[in-house]
Structure 1
Amino acid sequence: MVDLFVLFSIFEGTNGRPLRRVPSGILDSKEKQPLQTFRPYNIAHRGSNGELPEETSAAYFRAIEEGADFIETDILASKDGSLICFHDVILDDASDVADHEEFASRKRTYEVEGNNVTGWFVVDFTLDELKSLRVKQRHKFRDQLYNGKFSILTLRSSLELRYMQSGLLGYTQR
């Protein structure tokens, strides 16, 4: 199973906090320059997933509204090799797979990082099957209002959002 963890910028030029230069004298070393000399980067882990289900277009857009410089996403491969944005190798906690009777027989046990894990695994589903599922909040203490409103996002779709969002912000595509 391919399990890629990729950090990439989906959106360029987002409206984060104002940049502030590091005071002079602090960076006088001629041997080594820091990665950046401005404010820290704001990296949205799986989008803005406190209110919205993680790894969805809505969570990514909300992260941009909140000033994220980067969106960190997890990428998994489906049975037919399509890349999707999804955190876990199992679908149980963040999707409605358990509500789909047609997938009841797909529950499997695999060894994951040295442990036996039982559930519905992304690798056992085609992209079309995955797109029939709806995403939900994984934690009960988070807002459940948006459960079932979004489908699983493909990597291609998430990258297309980058261009759409950059146009909305008035930036040109490269």
Structure 2
Amino acid sequence: MKKKTILANMLFSILALTQYASAVENMPSLAVQQGEKVLVIAHRGASALRPEHTLASYQKAIDDGADFIEPDLVSTKDGMLVARHENEIGGTSNISTLPQFAQRQTTKVIDGKSIQGWFTEDFTAKELQQVKARERIPKLRPENTKYNDQYNIPTLKQIIELAENHYKKTGKVVGLYIETKHPTFFKNQHLAMEDTLLKTLAQNNYSKNIAPIYLQSFETTNIQYMKQKLNQYGLKHVQIIQLYDDPKMIPGDLLDQGAKTTYADLATVQGLTQVAKYADGVGPSKIYIIDKDTQQSTSFVQNAHALGLKVHPYTFRPENNFLPPQDVCSQIPSERCERGSVQEIKRYLNTGIDGFFTDDPKLGRDAMTQP
């Protein structure tokens, strides 16, 4: 009798596991399950239409229907958080043309790479007020160059105020999706950003009590630290996102520690299980979701959802240069292909993602509303 009971329990366990695997395979996105909408995240603002990380780019994104605007943050010499994709700003500003800063050009090793240029941590916030933003990829976005040298490099505080002012005028809440860039590097320069970021969010009523906030990083330890500090700063609307770079790469903090864990390791079921202990979601490169060679969906979204993680892939861009071959409008790399961009986004929506980063929020909105 005892043997029969054990056998029955084993069979029941096998059946349960089979049913679980089938459920995971056919699981709809959490957004669908919970009745949530898929989020349109303005990658560096509406960066396909204005120079990235400028107030004009963020405002354009808000006007075009973005649910969130995404500032990348770096630190100045005096600890001010400003919006740039990298701490090297020679390629996104006019700083190389300013004679007063000519001697500031230098070479540094950032996350294991030697880079020459001008770095935000060598300038005070006041000095950076003399610098104007420029289009990062002028050959692919020539129309954006007409906005060169018009806009300042904004601070985090100014970005929060921009979103808050829009809320006061229209009643529309726009979220903030904030990334800390090279946090281990800045920590080693005695310019750690995490507490400054949390303190800034807590000091503003809009970012503390009204707007939804995501904090993201390609590193791991700094977002774990911020996760632990949220209650201390009274931040109740903040969620944590683990970003995923090239599968072969090692996160900057782990590289600094001499660890060998790659993003590919973090993308396995075991890796995602560890990430789910501190993050609310993941921000993978598109290749984790649809294989770039076969164009077939992977199990990444289903695996993440099974662990309760949201999935927000990056980055959807409307120029032919960035589109898969089946979506391009022509062989001209800089030509905008709106139809192709919408088609690409729709394929990813069909995988069950919960949001996505796009350089053109209007096209992202179109992808979700067009039949």
Equivalent residue for 1:132? Answer: 130
Superposed CA deviations along residues 23-72 of structure 1, whole A, max 9, x for unmatched, are xxxx9xxxxx9255333110001000112111111111110111100011
Closer, same or farther in 2 for the Cα pair 1:171/1:138, shift >3 Å?
Answer: closer
Q: What runs of 5+ residues in structure 2 fail to find an aligned partner? A: 1-22, 24-28, 174-205, 211-371
Select the structure that is richer in helix.
2
Code of the aligned partner of 1:64: I
Select the structure that is richer in strand.
1
CA distance in 2, matches of 1:42, 1:170: 18
Code of the aligned partner of 2:40: N
Equivalent residue for 2:42? Answer: 44
| Post-superposition offset of 1:135 | 0.2
Code of the aligned partner of 1:153: P
Equivalent position SS for 1:151 = coil
Equivalent residue for 1:123? Answer: 121
CA distance in 2, matches of 1:51, 1:66: 11
| Post-superposition offset of 1:108 | 1.0
What is the aligned counterpart of 1:104 among 102, 105, 110?
A: 102
Structure showing greater Rg: 2
Report how many residues are paired. 144
Code of the aligned partner of 1:112: I
Higher relative contact order (CA 8 A, sep 6+): 1
Equivalent position SS for 1:135 = coil
| Post-superposition offset of 1:88 | 1.0
CA distance in 1, matches of 2:37, 2:162: 25
Equivalent residue for 1:34? Answer: 30
Give me the TM-score of the superposition, normalised by structure 1. Answer: 0.77
Give me the TM-score of the superposition, normalised by structure 2. Answer: 0.37
Superposed, which structure 2 residues align to 1:1-174 within 5 Å? Answer: 34-35=30-31, 36-140=34-138, 141-142=140-141, 143=143, 144-171=145-172, 174=210
CA distance in 2, matches of 1:119, 1:86: 14
Equivalent position SS for 1:39 = coil
For the aligned residues, what is the CA RMSD? 2.0
Equivalent position SS for 2:103 = helix
Q: What runs of 5+ residues in structure 1 fail to find an aligned partner? A: 1-26, 28-32
CA distance in 2, matches of 1:165, 1:109: 40
CA distance in 2, matches of 1:88, 1:100: 19
